[in-house]
Amino acid sequence: MDTETVWRTSLEKVRPEIPEYMFASMIVPLQMLSLDNGTCTVGAPNSFTKDIVASRYAALLSEAVSDVLGRAATVVVTVVESADAPGADYASADSPRRDTGDGPGLIDPGNSGAQKRYTFENFVVGDSNKFAYHAALMVGEFPGQKFNPLFIYGGTGLGKTHLLLAIKDYAEKTPNIKVKYVQTSSFIDEFIATLTQKRDKASFDQKYINNKIVLFDDVQALSSTDATQDKFFDLFNLLYASNSHIVLSSDRPPSEIPRLSDRIRSRFEGGLRVDIMPPDLETRLAILKMKAHADGVEVPDDALRFIASKVKDNIRSLEGLLNRVVASAVLYRTRIDLEMVQDVLKDQVAETALSRVPPVELIQNTVSDYYKILNAELVGKSRSRPLVHARQVAMYLCREMTDATLISIGGRFGGRDHTTVLHSCRKVEGLIKTKRDTFEEVTELTNMINRSL
């Protein structure tokens, strides 16, 4: 039996024992280099893959190779920089999910159920995010050992929060590993409350320093106050000194965060910085297929490709289009095919790099005119049902159609908290799928805004 057949047969033996996403990203790229006197040497494309395979799967692979050969064999992993890595480009998508924040899709980071849906298994991996995915997986696998701090940055809706929550999900499966995830804006709010209400500062610190991994989402919010930057700097140093792994996400690299102190910027730049770029067409197709599968709907490939052609820079917006198609099919009892999708999205022209992103003011003005209310009422404090509905729709459209963060959207609507914006988005998303009137309102407003660009 030639070495290639031995290796291929061995992989089929271990495949049921390894999570599919790990098999695709860690095992498939390996190459058998030699089989000599019971030593099977395999090449990994980088030290990252080598470390994980050697620590977790070498014994399993050795057993499989031994079974195939009929004699004892030991698998040894080495790094071969030029090794071909033909592994699957996409992680598996077997877990149903209903996302509600930073993409793919929407997620409520504070909801533990939503966190479980944000795993490495249902993160679609492509060329645009492969490095960030592997770095995040390395943190979950070996917290405190490499890439500390890990700084993940990229545009809105590209999967940063997904990776942070995937780290949390993965690491917490290891006994005695505690993980803390926090939106940076919530960190700021809690710290300010600690000061103003004279709470115990030591208790505040303990919430963070008792964890092996601490995940700070949207750290660009730190630029808002000097006091919180000072606190964050001290806490960062405590975590780092105790070998806690710090993972940070931002919509921009450290050098572009305004009003960030030089000493914090230096800390951010002292670890590994990885960016997530907009996905290519094939990755966007994989994302849509995964979501359609999770939602239990059948969408033909040509229809999915049409949807994928409409959005290039925001996964959340991409999935928003699919949500609209599915909602239309449910509400109007129509079959999903290319003609139906083209009709539903007829006014949604393809994005370009320099256009198709409406200003928040345009969305606010369009919504105000549509519901016949004043802009001051739209962003004001009134809790009357019609105004609340209009305000929630406007926030939802800002979240879906712009690159604005939850924090910045809240600021444009009377200084509301990011959790209020998130609640509004989730509320409207649910109404779109169950109420024909809301579906038609949002569709008409979206088309009006697009035609105004």
Residue-wise pLDDT tens digits, 197-216: 777 778 888 889 889 999 99
pLDDT of residue 394: 96
Map residue 161 onto helix, strand or coil: helix
Nearest Cα neighbor of 428 from 417, 439, 416, 440 is 439
Q: How confident is the model at residue 369, as a pLDDT?
A: 94
Residue with tokens 């059948």: 298
Q: pLDDT value at position 50?
A: 82
Instruction: Indicate whether 99 pLDDT > 50.
Output: no
Q: What was the pLDDT predicted at 167?
A: 95
Question: pLDDT value at position 227?
Answer: 81
Res 87: pLDDT = 33
Mean pLDDT of 78-103: 41
- pLDDT for residue 350: 58
pLDDT score of 20: 65
CA 244/CA 213 separation, integer angstroms: 5
Domain with CATH 3.40.50.300 in the chain: 112-276
* Burial class for 451, CB neighbours closer than 10 Å (0-12, 13-18, 19+): exposed
Residue 160 reports pLDDT greater than 60: yes
Fold of 279-356: Helicase, Ruva Protein; domain 3 (1.10.8)
Question: Mean pLDDT over residues 88-97, rounded?
Answer: 31
* Predicted local distance difference test score (pLDDT) of residue 413: 94
pLDDT digits (tens, 9 = 90+) for 344-398: 888 765 554 434 678 899 999 999 999 999 999 999 999 899 999 999 999 999 9
pLDDT of residue 165: 93
Quote the pLDDT of residue 88.
Answer: 31
Q: Is the pLDDT of residue 338 over 80?
A: yes
Q: What is the pLDDT of residue 395?
A: 95
Cα–Cα dist 397/358, whole Å: 10
384: left (phi over 0), alpha (psi -120 to 50) or beta: beta
Please work out, in degrees rounded to the nearest 5, the angle formed at the alpha carbon of residue 105 by the alpha carbons of 408 and 365. 40
Amino acid sitting at position 294: A
Contact 373, 390 (CB under 8 A): yes
Task: Give start-end residues of each CATH 1.10.8.60 domain in the chain.
Answer: 279-356
- Per-residue pLDDT, averaged over 32-38, amounts to 87
Residue 289, pLDDT > 50, answer yes
Spatial CA neighbour of 422 closest among 154, 147, 217: 217
Sheet bearing 179-183, strands edge to edge: 179-183, 213-217, 245-250, 150-154, 272-276
Q: Is 300 exposed, middle or buried (0-12, 13-18, 19+ CB in 10 A)?
A: middle
Q: What percent of the chain has pLDDT over 70?
A: 88
- pLDDT tens for 8-23 read 899 988 888 887 657 7
With a cut of 90, say whether residue 194 has pLDDT above it: no
Asked if pLDDT for residue 110 goes beyond 60, the answer is no
Mean pLDDT, to the nearest integer, of 40-63?
84
Among the residue ranges 78-82, 175-179, 331-335, the one predicted with the least confidence is: 78-82
Residue 29 confidence (pLDDT): 84
Instruction: Give the mean model confidence (pLDDT) for residues 24-38.
Output: 84
Listed in order, the ranges of the chain carrying CATH 1.10.1750.10 are 357-453
The superfamily in CATH containing domain 112-276 is: P-loop containing nucleotide triphosphate hydrolases (3.40.50.300)
* Domain 357-453, CATH number (from 1.10.940.10, 3.20.20.70, 3.40.50.280, 1.10.1750.10): 1.10.1750.10
Q: What topology does CATH give the domain 3-79?
A: GMP Synthetase; Chain A, domain 3 (3.30.300)
Q: Which residues make Cβ contacts (< 8 Å) with residue 369, sequence separation at least 6? A: none
pLDDT at 432: 86
With bands split at pLDDT 50, 70 and 90, how would you rate the model's confidence at 41?
very high
pLDDT at 94 over 50: no
pLDDT for the residue numbered 244: 94
Lowest mean pLDDT among 8-12, 55-59, 346-350, 433-437: 346-350
Comparing 84 with 154, the larger pLDDT belongs to 154
51 or 141, which is more confident: 141
